[in-house]
Amino acid sequence: MSSILLILFSAIFFSGIILRTKSITSGRKGPGVLQPIKDVIRLFKKGAIYSETTSIVFRIAPVIYFSTVLMACLVIPFGSYKGIVSFDGDFIFFAYILALGKFFSIISAMDTGSSFEGMGASREALYSMFAEPAFFILIGSFALLTGHTSFYNIFSTLHLGSSITYTLGGLAAFVLLMITMVENSRLPVDDPKTHLELTMIHEVMILDNSGFDLGLILTAGYLKFAMFGAIIADFFIGGLTLVPAAALFILIQILFATVIGMIESFMARFRMSHNPQFILALSSVSFLIFLGVLLVLEKFV
């Protein structure tokens, strides 16, 4: 229960911290930390408008997308405290419940009949497919290191006590950071503020969503940021008691959001043709983590 409450709390401020970081680095006053949440609340008060060309798929997709992200959050543990949903192999469930939500968001975009939205859906599917091996190699490596296959047992058993394990933890944080950028279609893979449809990915997929439905989609994005931040925090919380663990959790979430804000302030978007190469390179970093785990376990002959 502690995990989902902290994730929900972090999601309220996460995107606002990113915006404030980008505003400060560019010398602007910018919006307040709570502005993204205020925008979502305003959208929740509005009704949704549906095109005559769309079917029931377009209407239910935002709810399913939001529900799958919320369900994935329930799997994440908090240090020595289990997630609400916890079982052996739950990291596989975590990945594919997110894939289910992504599937519905993709077919929802295609359901509109728009060539632009279909183009964005195609790109989102491709990039998610390339990011999937990096996640499974990463979590599978730590499952091998700890001898467990659930998030809770992996993180409660994992102890970073040597230079090699701290290096592995740092590389894991980097891979998860980049996976977060890919999953949320942020720089350097995509620019959420662009208005050129030919280079848009996620934003072009939701052009026809409005009102309450758009609010659900944006809220799901904020939750995904905090959710991946929670996974990164779990690598370093270890067996701390509740209060120190919660303080470290919030500190890591703030640092995570600040780093994302800095990346989006000082990095340009990659050329579209370079995105697959960049995302596939994350699998190479995950493979380095796998080799490091074999080194720690003395499995090299």
Q: What is the pLDDT of residues 197-212, one digit of tens each?
A: 667 778 888 889 999 9
Spans in the chain with pLDDT lower than 70: 161-162, 195-198, 300-301
For residues 79 and 297, give the distance between their C-alpha atoms in angstroms, rounded to a whole number.
Answer: 23
Find the radius of gyration of the CA atoms of the chain. Answer: 19
H helices present in the chain, as ranges: 2-25, 35-44, 56-75, 90-111, 115-146, 151-157, 163-183, 202-205, 211-237, 242-266, 275-296
- CA dist 18 to 51, 59, 189, Å? 33, 30, 16
Give the relative orientation of helices 2-25 and 242-266 as an angle to the nearest 10 degrees: 30
Residues 110-164: pLDDT tens digits? 999 888 888 889 888 989 889 999 999 999 999 998 889 999 999 888 877 667 7
pLDDT score recorded for residue 110 = 92
- CA dist 194 to 14, 185, 197, 198, 200, Å? 21, 12, 8, 10, 7
Give the relative orientation of helices 211-237 and 163-183 as an angle to the nearest 10 degrees: 180
CA atoms within a 13 Å half-sphere pointing along the CA-CB vector of 42: 6
Any idea which residue has 């700890």 for tokens? 146
For residues 291 and 249, give the distance between their C-alpha atoms in angstroms, rounded to a whole number.
Answer: 28
pLDDT score recorded for residue 79 = 77
DSSP state of 45: T
For residues 225 and 59, give the distance between their C-alpha atoms in angstroms, rounded to a whole number.
Answer: 24
- Domain residue extents for the chain: 2-296
CA atoms within a 13 Å half-sphere pointing along the CA-CB vector of 41: 6
Contact call for residues 171 and 289 (beta carbons, < 8 A): yes
For residues 27 and 118, give the distance between their C-alpha atoms in angstroms, rounded to a whole number.
Answer: 37
* Tokens standing for residue 156: 């409660």
pLDDT score recorded for residue 143 = 93
pLDDT score recorded for residue 162 = 67
- CA dist 76 to 15, 49, 120, 145, 170, Å? 20, 35, 29, 19, 19
For residues 149 and 186, give the distance between their C-alpha atoms in angstroms, rounded to a whole number.
Answer: 30
Residues in the chain: 301
